[in-house]
């Protein structure tokens, strides 16, 4: 591998949690990761609100909060005046990313499997976006000849590397025991494909900054949390459950091997960072928030609304427009548009239509709604289902909050609510424990400039970008909200390399003037299936 004076590697582990990783490092499933992290520093990485993949990874890549960079969800309103919900893309990112910053400082950057990187920015290096179906992955990659090179990799399979939305959707219809094996093997094969691409590019087209995401952790933990979290283990597993657990362990053991080879390829002079977009934990409950709003008189369904059949645990993601199509706007004052946001929109007259409360009533109405959510949204024993309620100003401070939910809810078991109507009340217990997102992610760093064997205090995900830039010797842009956490670096290294603050980032128009490659109707449908399969957006 070609050597650079300063090389930095970012290993993204989607949804990684020390709750799981620590137990796997101790039981011998991930021996290299245990040895590797012990050489450097580690700490809890605090995600954004809500702890969701698109705003979190974008916060990591920009060093800014969602209210500044503009990515709030998988789906968000097209504009403050529109009721049209669209998929996020690179054009929704309103701050410069580390990939572009590195590129314009005369260095090369590689971005692999990051969400919202389509259409790709024409950086000095390469981009293969995440969350794109196989039919559009090549078209949304940079440079245009990249896939011609990747096809030379023995065993390279574009369909196997890209998300197979229909296969993933099949795996969780009722979570039947015979479907777990196919689900886990699907993600083992995907990670192998991404690893082959990473290895090929590190060997043949290295960059000063190379960042990539292994996302099978998130997929597997959603469905298999009860097989991974020691606190959820039964006294003994049934034979099929033990087989499922062993397949989960196989995934993590192979991932450990991938990380080991990546570290070896990077060499001893590289600074290597590990980060996740959020953590994970168990969820046992479902709050049907639109059903609650309906029962409280804030929301009115049209007469032809239908209760979803056959999947009482659906969060309503198979069609994100369902909750909007079946609303009676004349009689609706508040509603939840997407399950992934855990957010409630207040309908204000003149904002997205003539219907809704008067603008001057907004403050008092929001306070009233917050009080009812705190006091009236309870289980059968009268215990609150909501742990915390945040206003849009609290959740999304910045200049890009016009499309943000007016209220963001943190549920008592940290799960995502459902936007579906439902029979039998607005609160249900799940048939089985599932995995859900938590704010507490993971951070670790190892390298010649990194402090050795050090336990860090929790740090924010917006601080990762400044660490990467500083490790490369690039000044930190003055308008980047994150900052260098000096405890990450060895004091002697800091003394020899003082932190420098540089010019602000470029405006969006300066780095995203590229053609748009959009998904067709089939691609959109497949992405909906993907979201439904996870059961959280």
Q: What CATH number does residue 42 fall under? A: 3.40.720.10
Tell me if 188 is assigned to some domain: yes
State the chain's mean pLDDT as an integer: 89
Same domain, 180 and 291: no
Whether 329 and 443 share a structural domain: no
Cis peptide before 143 (omega within 30 of 0): yes
d(CA 150, CA 196): 9
- Interval 479-494: pLDDT, tens: 999 999 999 999 999 9
**pLDDT score for 324:** 75
Q: Mean pLDDT across the stretch 397-422?
A: 91
Q: Which residue among 418, 435, 452 closes a domain? A: 435
| Total domains present in the chain | 2
Question: Rounded to whole angstroms, how far apart are CA atoms 372 and 344?
Answer: 13
516 inside domain: yes
Indicate the pLDDT class of residue 525, thresholds 50, 70 and 90. low
The pLDDT tens digits for 242-274 are: 999 999 999 999 999 999 999 999 999 999 999
pLDDT given for residue 167 in this prediction: 66
Using alpha carbons, list the distances in angstroms from residue 26 to 154, 225, 446: 34, 18, 19
Phi and psi at residue 501, in whole multiples of 5°?
A: -100, 130
* Mean per-residue pLDDT, 378-388: 96
pLDDT at 397: 85
- State whether 51 and 192 are in the same domain: yes
Please indicate, yes or no, if residue 487 is contained in any of the structural domains.
yes
Answer yes or no: do 119 and 225 share one domain: yes
**Same domain flag for 446 and 518:** yes
pLDDT-derived band of residue 78, with 50, 70 and 90 as boundaries? confident
Q: Which two tokens stand for residue 453?
A: 């064997």
- Is residue 1 included in any domain, yes or no? no
Summarize the confidence of residues 53-63 as an average pLDDT.
98
Distances (CA, A) of 16 to 37, 117, 213, 215, 355: 14, 21, 11, 9, 43
Last residue of a domain, one of 435, 456, 483: 435
Q: Which domain holds residue 268?
A: 8-278+439-534
**This prediction's pTM:** 0.92
What confidence category does residue 313 fall into, taking pLDDT thresholds of 50, 70 and 90? very low
Same domain, 135 and 158: yes
Q: Which two tokens mark 366?
A: 């929001």
Q: State how far the Cα of 114 lies from the Cα of 129, in Å rounded to an integer.
A: 5
Contact (CB, 8 A) for 390 and 49: yes
Instruction: Give domain status of residue 365, yes or no.
Output: yes
pLDDT class of 507 with cuts at 50, 70, 90: confident
Q: Do 420 and 446 share a domain, yes or no?
A: no
Q: Is residue 117 part of a domain?
A: yes
Distance CA 31, CA 14 (A): 20
* HSE value, Cβ hemisphere, 13 Å, CA-based, for 456: 27
524 shares a domain with 454: yes
CATH number of 323's domain: 3.30.1360
Q: Do both 402 and 523 map to the same domain?
A: no
Distance CA 70, CA 73 (A): 9
Asked if 155 and 292 sit in the same domain, the reply is no
Q: What is the pLDDT of residue 515?
A: 42
User: pLDDT category, 225, cuts 50, 70, 90?
Assistant: very high
**What are 364-373's pLDDT values in tens digits?**
999 999 999 9
Phi and psi at residue 307, to the nearest 5°: -75, 130
Token couple for 426: 């607005």
532: pLDDT strictly greater than 60: no
On the question of pLDDT at 465 being above 50, the answer is yes
Q: Which residues pair with 446 in a beta bridge?
A: 272
Confidence of residue 80 (pLDDT cuts 50, 70, 90): confident
Q: What is the pLDDT of residue 166?
A: 67
The strand pair at 440-446 and 41-46 is best described as: antiparallel
Give pLDDT tens digits for 423-434.
Answer: 889 999 998 899
């Amino acid at each position: 591998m070609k050597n650079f004076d300063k090389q930095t590697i970012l290993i993204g582990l989607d949804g990684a949690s020390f709750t799981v990783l620590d137990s796997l490092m101790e039981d011998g499933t991930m021996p290299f990761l245990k040895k590797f992290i012990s050489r450097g520093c580690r700490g809890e990485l605090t995600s954004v609100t809500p702890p969701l993949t698109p705003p979190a990874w974008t916060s990591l890549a920009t060093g800014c909060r969602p209210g500044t960079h503009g990515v709030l969800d998988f789906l968000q309103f097209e504009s403050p005046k529109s009721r049209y919900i669209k998929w996020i893309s690179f054009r929704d990112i309103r701050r410069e990313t580390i990939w572009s910053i590195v590129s314009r400082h005369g260095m090369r950057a590689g971005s692999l499997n990051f969400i919202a990187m389509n259409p790709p920015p024409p950086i000095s290096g390469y981009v293969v976006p995440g969350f794109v179906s196989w039919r559009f992955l090549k078209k949304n990659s940079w440079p245009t000849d990249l896939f011609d090179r990747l096809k030379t990799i023995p065993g390279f399979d574009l369909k196997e590397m890209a998300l197979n939305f229909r296969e993933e959707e099949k795996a969780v219809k009722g979570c039947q025991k015979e479907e777990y094996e196919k689900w886990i093997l699907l993600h083992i094969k995907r990670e192998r494909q991404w690893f082959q691409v990473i290895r090929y590019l590190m060997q043949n087209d290295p960059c000063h900054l190379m960042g990539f995401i292994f996302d099978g952790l998130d997929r597997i933990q959603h469905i298999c949390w009860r097989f991974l979290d020691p606190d959820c283990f039964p006294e003994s597993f049934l034979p099929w459950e033990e087989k499922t657990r062993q397949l989960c362990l196989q995934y993590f053991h192979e991932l450990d091997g991938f990380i080991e080879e990546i570290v070896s390829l990077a060499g001893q002079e590289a600074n290597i960072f590990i980060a996740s977009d959020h953590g994970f934990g168990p969820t046992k409950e479902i709050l049907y928030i639109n059903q609650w709003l309906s029962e409280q008189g804030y929301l009115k369904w049209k007469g032809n609304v239908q209760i979803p059949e056959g999947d009482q645990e659906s969060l309503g993601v198979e069609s994100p427009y369902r909750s909007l199509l079946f609303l009676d706007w004349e009689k609706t004052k508040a509603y939840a548009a997407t399950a992934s946001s855990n957010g409630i929109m207040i309908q204000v007259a003149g904002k997205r239509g003539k219907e809704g409360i008067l603008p001057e009533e907004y403050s008092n109405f929001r306070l009233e709604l917050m009080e009812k959510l705190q006091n009236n949204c309870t289980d059968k024993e009268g215990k609150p289902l909501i742990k915390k309620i945040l206003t849009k100003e609290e959740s999304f401070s910045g200049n890009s909050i016009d499309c943000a939910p007016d209220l963001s809810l943190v549920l008592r078991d940290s799960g995502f609510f459902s936007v579906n109507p439902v029979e039998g009340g607005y609160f249900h217990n799940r048939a089985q424990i599932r995995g859900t997102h938590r704010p507490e992610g993971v951070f670790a760093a190892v390298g010649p400039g990194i402090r050795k064997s050090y336990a860090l205090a929790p740090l924010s995900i917006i601080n990762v970008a400044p660490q990467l830039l500083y490790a490369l010797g690039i000044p930190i842009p003055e308008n980047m909200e994150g900052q260098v956490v000096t405890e990450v670096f060895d004091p002697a290294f800091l003394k020899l390399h003082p932190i420098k603050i540089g010019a602000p980032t470029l405006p969006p128009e300066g780095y995203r003037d590229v053609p748009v490659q959009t998904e067709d109707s089939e691609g959109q449908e497949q992405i909906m299936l993907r979201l439904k399969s996870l059961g959280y957006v």
